[in-house]
Amino acid sequence: MAHSAVTFSELLNRIILIGGHVVRHPPAPAGEVWLFGNGKGSFPWTRGPIYPVRERPNEEPVPGIMVEKILKKLGLSREDQAAFWNAETHPPEDTK
């Protein structure tokens, strides 16, 4: 099933929502973000498989096919992947 693109910030937020971890520098090198699956480990940086990506602007779209490959590489279950795609993004409310 082909999924639509998500913004870079949505990608990071949804990974956190399903129990994964997002690490910006340090310890990740400058300009890079490390994505971790939700496997169990003794320390947050050793949890699950890692997928390094270059840091992008928050609103830059990440193609759906790339997101699918990232989720597969992170070793997420079908249930976690379904939760990732079913997560809804709500724009911030105006605070006038």
pLDDT digits over 27-42, tens only? Answer: 778 899 988 887 655 5
- Tell whether pTM > 0.85: no
Instruction: Give the position of tokens 């400058």.
Output: 30
Sign of the alpha-carbon dihedral angle for 43, 56, 26, 65: positive
DSSP 3-state assignment of 53? Answer: strand
% residues pLDDT > 90 (the chain): 42
- C-beta separation of 47 from 35 below 8 A: no
pLDDT digits over 54-82, tens only? Answer: 999 999 999 999 999 999 998 888 999 99
- C-beta separation of 69 from 45 below 8 A: no
- C-beta separation of 70 from 54 below 8 A: no
From CA 52, how far away is CA 86, in angstroms rounded? 24
- C-beta separation of 26 from 63 below 8 A: no
Give the chain's domains with CATH numbers. 6-86 (3.30.920)
